[in-house]
Amino acid sequence: MKRRIAAPARKVIDAVLKGGIAVMPTDTIYGIVARALDRKAVERLYALRRKTPQKPFIILISSLDDLKVFGVRPDAAALRFLLRVWPGKVSVILPCRDKKLDYLHLGTGTLAFRLPRSKKLSVLLAKTGPLVAPSANPEGEEPARTLDEARSYFRDAVDIYVDEAPREHEPSTLVSLVSGTPVVLRQGAVKISSTSDVDEEGASKRHAA
């Protein structure tokens, strides 16, 4: 059975497929998004958000298979970790050596991915493909919690704003798997005190392990 796509989501899909940039609620906080495989849109987003070089954006994906698009093939240990924390509010940094994707990884040879649990967001991502989705704020400013805050940052430089109740969620937890061993770089919505201790309020035991 096909899931019905709401009108606001359709507007986002239409905008980003045409190379646009949107502000929308993600599974954590408001994000400012563009298609990850659209080089011009990503470069426009870097300029708009005034991103520090060597700090690539997080990419939202709809399935593990999306990693293959970026030439990312986790080994067995990395895959076990991903299956424990995904879908969920954990962003994971993985090696990516593809020179054609320099505009994404900025020469770092790594990319960060997140597989959201939200069904609405998954349906949208299946239509748009992977989206770069940093928080909706210029670097150094506080993440927008309302659409008015986002508009005060970006004004007409964003093609579409999608409204929702104010976002009070924490950002995602950030984990690096570059060395082969999970290293927590930022505690966020999912609390990880060790590689075998992942806790997200309301998560099933499988995803809180």
Render pLDDT for 120-176 as a digit per residue (tens, 0 to 9).
999 999 999 999 999 999 999 999 999 999 999 999 999 999 987 757 678 999 999
DSSP-derived 3-state class of residue 179: coil
Gap between the Cα atoms of 114 and 27, Å rounded: 10
**Contacts made by residues 177-183, CB under 8 angstroms, sequence distance 24+:** 177/74, 177/78, 177/81, 177/92, 177/93, 177/94, 178/93, 178/94, 178/95, 178/110, 180/75, 180/77, 180/78, 182/81
Residues in contact with 53: Cβ distance below 8 Å, sequence separation at least 6, in sequence order: 106
Work out the end-to-end distance of the chain between its first and last CA atoms, rounded to an integer number of angstroms: 31
Alpha helix segments (H runs only) across 62-171? 76-85, 102-105, 119-128, 147-154
Within 50-146, where are the H helices?
A: 76-85, 102-105, 119-128
pTM: 0.90
Q: How many angstroms from the chain centroid is the CA of residue 164?
A: 18
Give the pair of three-digit tokens for residue 92: 């994971």
State both tokens at 106: 């900025």
Domains in the chain: ranges and CATH: 7-208 (3.90.870.10)
Distance between CA atoms of residues 56 and 64, nearest Å: 20
Round to whole Å and give the CA distance between 105 and 48: 17
For the chain, residues with pLDDT lower than 70 are: 1-4, 53, 166, 168, 194-209
